[in-house]
Structure formats: structure tokens, C-alpha cells
Structure 1
């Protein structure tokens, strides 16, 4: 990767993660309201951070961003693990989700986990986490304090959006990872909690879109490439139909909440992806990111997830400088999000200077143990 190409990629990594957090925090407080109620309060749509009630200040992120951050950390740790002569193992990401589960069940860090992200006290709070994520990971523990063996797919029939809302980091991996691998690996990671094919395939499609954007594709071409991969998988029809309808509406219907409602509520994976894609297609320009995010969250449904996914997409498309500054500078956890983004970029471009046979073995691998 040339210096200039690396800078563009780094901007997309930061943009994707920050954009997802901004969209998440924008939609979180209105997640359980009807579209009519939201518009009555915010006739210009939700364009600024608002509080979500007691203990939920404006700009607060939810489980969507929490799990996305543990996905990033898991991918870094999976790459560190290759020092052992092993392949890049997606199951390491499930270990990350096991640490996330601690943040939902414990009052603070237990002292029994390694790595740095689980030590961030501000993450130990519940923001309406998905029941499927909680139950699937709890079941994987088999009554123990930690998951005893990583890599098993969830045994349920859920296609909720809890998989797709967290897998964008797979798409941020450098272009030497083939898009086909990105699709399949993100689907596998979603399958740690969501067993229905649609829950997995919508997740693979999002990661493929992000990956194509990071390689320089425009939004329409990135969606087409992801759709091509999607249709090669059994059980793709729900996601393919939802994406096709989103593209059709973006080309033919007004960019307003009434049109968004035609795509569903976003509670299930294919609808969440479709709403985010519709909003991004409706407002695809760098100076329209806030318009897209406002549209993505103003509906009777899972507003934080649709906002997060839309922010992931447009942040990857345009880079961090296109994000609305008035929201970026107040979103919860920005220092941690940016540190993870930069560490991700370092790991996948300069790992030989950080760990392995020719680098220091202590500080980086203590921060990101390889398992």
C-alpha cells in the first residue's frame, strides 16, 4: 500500500468507526418511539444529539458501538495470533464478544481478563442490548464465567440486526483480504449470536460493501459487488430483495421518513441494512452525511442500529473529515474509538514493528494478546 493510499485507507477506518458511533448515538434515544412521535418533536428530523432519559446523556453510544469496538479489538488480536504460525482465526472475535458480555453483566472490570478495552469502565453500562446477543453468548458459556471454547455458531433462528450492526470492521481489513473472505468471515462472526441465514448474510453483505468502499469503489458499485456475492449463498433471498427495494426507492421515491417506513423497522437484519443503504443512497455526497444520518434514524424502529450502519457506510465512503463536526466532538468514547482505529491501522500495516520476531513482545501484545 503506497503512502497516499494508506492515508486514504486510514481516513476511511476512522470515518467508518466514528460515523457508526455518531449514527448510533443519534438514533439511540428515539429507538422505541414511533416515527410520528419523533417527527412531532423534531420536524427537521433528528439532527442533533438528544438525551435518552435518566442516565442517558445526549451523545451516548449504545451496545451497537460497544460490540463494534470489541469486533475491532478482536480482529487486531486475531492478527497478533498469526505470530504463532497459525492462520487468521475469526473465532478470536467471539472471544471479544465474550469480554463485551462482561460489560453487560458486571459492574466493572473483574481483573480476570486481559487486553485493554475490557478495562474501560465507561463501557460497563447497558443501553438496551439485544436479547439475542445476550442469550446466545450466555449460552455459549455453558454455565462458566467465560466461553470455554470459541468458534461455535449459535443454535437459534434469530435474524435480528444484532449481527449486522457490529461487523463493519471486517470490511476495513486491507485489500489483500479478498472481499469473498470478508463476506464469509463477517457472516461467521454474526453467526456467533444469530443463527438464521439472513442474520448472517446481511452481515456479510455490509462488510463486503465497506470493503469495496475502502478499495475505492463508489457506493452503487460497492452495493452491486456485495449483492453479487450475496446471491451465491443459499438463503440470500430476503437480504437480496431488501437491498433491491432500497435501491429502487432511492432512485424513485422521496427521501423522507414515509419512504423509510416502507423498508420496515430495522429490527431484523435485512431491514436494518436496507434502511441504512437507502439513506446513504438518498444523500451520498460528503456534505450530506448529516442528512443521511437524520433520515436513517427518524422512523418507527431500531433507530440506533440503522443510524450506526449508515454511519459506517458513509464514514468508509468519505473518510472522517466528512462527518458532522458538531456531533463528532461530543460523541461518547471518541478517544477510545480513535485509538482503536489507529491501532487497527498500525497492526495491519506495521505489525512487524510492533510484535513478532523483530519487534517488542511486551507492550503491544499485553495490549492485544493473540487469542
Structure 2
């Protein structure tokens, strides 16, 4: 087996694991998002949420429904693929305008009930992605055309540091070194978050997650990757809230009992640095592949934004261990798994070695038209 084949197989597993892990964490935490910790423990027991809560909103009970966290993560992936298609495999990836255009396509899905045949590409034709699952008001308002169409790549004019930027930032960390440096990954995730969330913390926490994912995909241990993230953060003005939250999470993982009470002490996860800190804490407490479910349960069992903290934790551990570490009883039933895995594989192909011929093909460009 050649080095390129070994690299491609490992890389594909990490991409799949990151995206599917995020969706699983999102779906696990979504039904308890607005519950108190006491209510969650009373309903699910002292080990927290470890299986999907049934949704009875339709005639048939459904399990594993994702939210806007996974939706926007997939649109981030699609935007990056379209940027790569436009680039044609050459040097000089420029992803922010294509990612912004992808977010506008997501916004369009939140204004319509189903695809109507007027779209190009593939993701926007998927009916399941039109479900409106409590999308963040900041994202909606920042992407709304007012008074006219938005100029691609222009930052949002608000001061929000809600977690809506960091919850979708992991795909930037999946970009291979041949396409993006560590600084590129951090900067692009920061800028992409800034398309909807203007506060420095909302942006920097997103850059921090993307760089954390990059470093563990490259082979760093989780704690070593966190060291790198903290070093890079200190170079950026306004890093203090994000750095402090991550240091608190690390200290809690080393010194405190692993429990929902400790998670509660890190905040509610509604704002960017808290969502990142809770997810990192749960991953640090249970970093082993066979403890994946324990980490996800810990990350969502709190009285806060459980779907976002679960999604981020799933992104981290999925990137760290690859798809085979995901708990099968959760992975097989998550909504949209087929489309999600297909998109993950398309991402791996687009950014893998020898992709130039693929990207120039007419069927590929029909699937991912260059913006």
C-alpha cells in the first residue's frame, strides 16, 4: 500500500468521523436543549443522555433528528468544495465568498418548505435539509437581504458572540496541508464566523476549533493540539475570553470530577467560548475511542445549548479517532446519514491528491458548480 493510499484512507476516515460525529452529537443533544439539568437527570438517569429521544411530531416516531448546527456545517463543507472546484486544484484557495454563498443557500432553505427545482448543485435539492429546527436568530438576520443582496464575504454588522459561528467551523480544520496552512485554517474559520457573528470572541472561538481539528487530523494528541491552539490565540487581539474558557476547561478536566455539575460550571454553551469549552472538556475527560458515547453524553447533559456542545464534541472526537470509533447505535440512525457521508467523501476526493482532473469534469461541476 503506497503512502498516498494510506494517507487518503486515514484522511477520509477523519473527515467522515468529524462530520458524522458532529451530527450524532447534535441529534443527541437537541431534544434536551431547553431542559434543566435536574429534569434531564430525572428523565435519563445519572449517566445523562446516551440514546436518541423519540420525536413524535409526525405520524411515525423518529430518532436522531439534526438541527441547524449540522445543516450549517454541511453548507460550510459545500462552500469549501465549490471553492476548490473554482480553484481547479491549483494553489490559492479563496473560500470565504463561496462559503458565504453557501450560507445564503442555507438561508433560502429556511424560507421554503421544500426544493422547487430552481437550484443548481446537489445539497440544496435535499428535502430533509429544509426542516426548520430552531435556527439561530443571529444567523438568520445576518444573512437576510436587507436592504439589498449581500456582497459575498462582507462581515456581519453586529456584536454577537453566540455559538452559531463555532458550531459550524470544524470543516475548515479538515482542509489538508496541501491546500491550507494552520494560519489559513484559523483565519478562514474566524472570517467565516464573522459573516454572521461580529464579536471577536465569536470569531476567535471558531478559529480555535478549526485549528484544533486541523492539528488532531494531522496526528497531534488532543492535549498537544490544545497547546497549539492556545499559543496561536495569544497572537490575536481579543483572545482573552476564548483562552480563559479553554484553560478553565483543561483545568476542570484535570482536577474536577467528571460530572454534569462540572459541565454546568463552564457555562451554558449559548455563547461561543462556553460552547467550545464544554465540548473540549468532555473530549479531554473521555479521549479514548471506546469512551465516545461517554464524552457525548457528558457534553449534552447540561441546562444549556446541548445540541451545539454535542455537535462540537462530536466533531472533535470524530476527527481524532475516525468514523469507526463512532457508537454504531447512534451513527446508523442519525438523520441524513447517507447524504452526509456522501458529502464527506466528496470533500475528501476534492481535496485529495490528483483531484484536478476530477474537478474539471462536467458531472462534478454540475454537482458542485463553482460560485
Residue 367 in 1 paired to residue 367 in 2?
yes
SS in 2 for 1:134: helix
Who is 2:355 aligned against? Answer: 351
Who is 1:157 aligned against? Answer: 159
Aligned-pair CA distance for 1:99: 0.5
SS in 1 for 2:359: coil
Q: In structure 2, how many angstroms separate the alpha carbons of the residues matched to 1:192 and 1:23? A: 24
CA contact (8 A) 2:286 2:295 kept: yes
Q: Deviations over 1:72-115 (max 9, x none)?
A: 00000001111397942222101000000111111112333211
Give the superposed CA RMSD: 1.4
Who is 2:97 aligned against? Answer: 91
Aligned-pair CA distance for 1:272: 0.1
Q: Deviations over 1:230-270 (max 9, x none)?
A: 11100000000000000000000011100000000000000
Who is 2:14 aligned against? Answer: 12
Q: In structure 2, how many angstroms separate the alpha carbons of the residues matched to 1:72 and 1:300? A: 30
Return the match for 2:303 from 285, 288, 300. Answer: 300
Q: In structure 2, how many angstroms separate the alpha carbons of the residues matched to 1:117 and 1:262? A: 38
CA contact (8 A) 2:105 2:124 kept: yes
Aligned-pair CA distance for 1:53: 5.1
Normalised by the length of structure 2, the TM-score is 0.95
Q: Deviations over 1:288-310 (max 9, x none)?
A: 00000000000000000000000
Q: In structure 1, how many angstroms separate the alpha carbons of the residues matched to 2:208 and 2:287? A: 19
Q: In structure 1, how many angstroms separate the alpha carbons of the residues matched to 2:359 and 2:277? A: 40
Q: In structure 1, how many angstroms separate the alpha carbons of the residues matched to 2:368 and 2:54? A: 34
Q: In structure 2, how many angstroms separate the alpha carbons of the residues matched to 1:7 and 1:278? A: 29
Return the match for 1:59 from 64, 79, 93. Answer: 64
Aligned-pair CA distance for 1:9: 1.1
Alignment of 1:314-333 (within 5 A): 314-333=317-336
Return the match for 1:135 from 126, 135, 141. Answer: 141
Who is 1:193 aligned against? Answer: 196
Q: In structure 2, how many angstroms separate the alpha carbons of the residues matched to 1:236 and 1:202? A: 8
CA contact (8 A) 2:165 2:272 kept: yes
Aligned-pair CA distance for 1:52: 4.5
Q: In structure 1, how many angstroms separate the alpha carbons of the residues matched to 2:204 and 2:228? A: 14
Alignment of 1:1-371 (within 5 A): 2-43=4-45, 44-52=47-55, 54-55=57-58, 57-83=62-88, 87-89=92-94, 90-138=96-144, 141-143=145-147, 147-176=149-178, 177-349=180-352, 350-356=354-360, 360=361, 362-371=362-371
The verdict on how the C-alpha distance between 1:333 and 1:148 changes in structure 2, with shifts beyond 3 A counting, is: same
Q: In structure 2, how many angstroms separate the alpha carbons of the residues matched to 1:17 and 1:240? A: 25
The verdict on how the C-alpha distance between 1:52 and 1:264 changes in structure 2, with shifts beyond 3 A counting, is: farther
Q: In structure 1, how many angstroms separate the alpha carbons of the residues matched to 2:286 and 2:56? A: 30
The verdict on how the C-alpha distance between 1:365 and 1:257 changes in structure 2, with shifts beyond 3 A counting, is: same
Q: Deviations over 1:327-369 (max 9, x none)?
A: 000000000110000000100114223133xxx2x11001001
Number of aligned pairs? 363
CA contact (8 A) 1:30 1:52 kept: no
* Runs of 5+ unmatched residues, structure 1: none
CA contact (8 A) 1:28 1:52 kept: no
Q: In structure 2, how many angstroms separate the alpha carbons of the residues matched to 1:83 and 1:323? A: 33
Q: In structure 1, how many angstroms separate the alpha carbons of the residues matched to 2:303 and 2:159? A: 24
Q: Deviations over 1:29-66 (max 9, x none)?
A: 00011111101101121000002552483200000000
CA contact (8 A) 2:245 2:274 kept: yes
* Runs of 5+ unmatched residues, structure 2: none
The verdict on how the C-alpha distance between 1:85 and 1:247 changes in structure 2, with shifts beyond 3 A counting, is: closer
CA contact (8 A) 2:350 2:359 kept: no
SS in 2 for 1:105: coil
Normalised by the length of structure 1, the TM-score is 0.95
